[in-house]
Amino acid sequence: MDKIRIRGGARLNGEIPISGAKNAALPLMVAALLTDAPLTLTNVPKLADVAFMADLLRHFGVTAEWTPEAALGQGGRYELCAADLTGTTADYDIVRKMRASFLVFGPLLARAGHAKVSLPGGCAIGARPVDLHLKALEALGAKVELADGYVIAEAPGGLKGANIAFPFVSVGATENALMAATLAEGRTVISNAAREPEIDDLGRCLTAMGARISGLGTSSIVVDGVKSLHAAAHAVLPDRIETGTYAMAVAIAGGAVELTGTRADLVGALIPLLKEAGTDVTATNNGLMVARNGVRPTSVSAATEPFPGFPTDLQAQFMALMATAEGTSHIRETIFENRFMHVPELLRMGANIKVDGDTAIVTGVPRLNGAPVMATDLRASSSLVLAGLAAEGETVVNRVYHLDRGFERLEEKLSRVGADIERLPV
């Protein structure tokens, strides 16, 4: 497996193009299952998870043709068409590799009237059950049973609109319910819906396909079911996690970088934290300008929350930044119960972090030290890259496979702005 080597200390200057969002692209690709007409997606990032989702869809008889774009950060195009569904089973071997595979559950049921999808099981960042997804589909009239590790569901007479009230916010369950409801008979009201921009993006694409949806971006989404959806084209929104990660790369390494093709409102909860920590962040016509010169970052505390709060997918990167800041920061993780796997690796780089339940207490050190490190999820891996940018000496991040799942050409984007970073193929 490839490794990434970073020699710390270089400041970053220039421009980083931001790619389309992985967590928008995955459900958008799944939406192709809802219609026999073509769905064209542009600004799709070239990532392992995206290729994996295309393979999963092909498994159901979907044609998925990829056209790459030459320029860095521009994304490619997927032409997807589910003219004939040839299967409705997603095997364990597929779902265990990528939890987002479970998003096919609602669309398969809505389109074909049945679905058999492996239960995903736990993953490195926590137990991550799918009970809310199942309850939502049951509310829409599906008969759901669990057998041999699979969820088997039938809706022979079609799904029926219903009130779905989630007890807490789930991005994936909201997406599953939203997609299924587009073809359900009558009105569905999803209360306590997730408000993540990726849901808004999915809703816009579904609307372009002929779905009748209101309340996008709020916690109450109303869907009036239609008989069928039609062809559409949609551009994937910019990746807010990639935006936040590179903003923090500049905050930790110093320098001035414009993040292009992105938007300030996507990282609204991060900007005040970065400013408080001593980084300048300003919106530009093309995206965001991020700069830090001279002084060491100062400590700021943060807690993860559903959107519009501070995202769990930026928590590890923020901890790397705080590990070098002046003072002590409390970082609380409220979404996943096991999302501090980066802590032992940061400790090996000389960080001073104590974990107390759901809170990491981070006392910044003036300089981290390079070390060989490894992480078991993609955001944690990116935090180790950030730590490596600020560390003295050489950091080698192992298991780059995780980074390739969610960051398009990371080492190329960072080396273009002056980081001393390279991929070491094995």
Q: Is 205 in the site for ligand EPZ (CB under 6 A)?
A: no
Tell me, by CB under 6 A, how many residues bind ligand EPZ: 24
26 binds ligand EPZ (CB under 6 A): yes
Site string for ligand EPZ, 89-108 (x = CB under 6 A): ----------xx--------
Q: How far apart are CB 317 and ligand EPZ at their closest, in Å?
A: 11
**Structure tokens that stand for 92 in this block:** 């364990």
Which window, 6-14, 59-67, 73-81, 131-139, contacts ligand EPZ (CB under 6 A)?
Answer: 131-139
Q: Is 81 a catalytic residue?
A: no
Of 41, 378, 384, 403, which lies in the binding site for ligand EPZ, with binding defined by CB under 6 A? 378
Encode burial over 122-151: b for 16+ CB neighbours within 10 A, e otherwise. eeebeebebebbbbbbebbbbebeeeeebb
CA–CA gap between residue 281 and residue 264 (Å, rounded): 9
Whether the CB-CB separation of 22 and 239 falls below 8 Å is answered with: yes
CA dihedral 229, 78, 48, 114 (to 10 degrees): 20
Q: Which is nearer to ligand EPZ, 39 or 335 (CB)?
A: 335
Among candidate residues 48, 51, 72, 123, the one labeled active-site is: 123
Cα separation, 4 vs 387, whole angstroms: 13
What's the min distance (Å) between Cβ of 314 and ligand EPZ?
10
Residue 173 in contact with ligand EPZ, rule: CB under 6 A: yes
The answer to whether 29 contacts ligand EPZ (rule: CB under 6 A) is: no
Give SS3 for 302: strand
Distance CA 27, CA 234 (A): 13
Stretch that binds ligand EPZ, among 89-97, 128-136, 287-295, 321-329 (CB under 6 A): 128-136
Q: How far apart are CA 378 and CA 243, in angstroms?
A: 15
- Are 114 and 64 in contact, with CB atoms under 8 Å apart? no
| 237-246 CB burial, b ≥16 within 10 A, e <16 | bbbbbbbbbb
Taking CB under 6 A as the rule, does residue 10 contact ligand EPZ? no
The minimum distance between CB 174 and ligand EPZ, in angstroms, equals 8
Stretch that binds ligand EPZ, among 6-14, 305-313, 340-348, 353-361 (CB under 6 A): 305-313
User: Can you give the binding site for ligand EPZ, defined by CB under 6 A?
Assistant: 23, 26, 99-100, 126-133, 170-173, 311-313, 335-336, 378-379, 406
Active site residues: 123
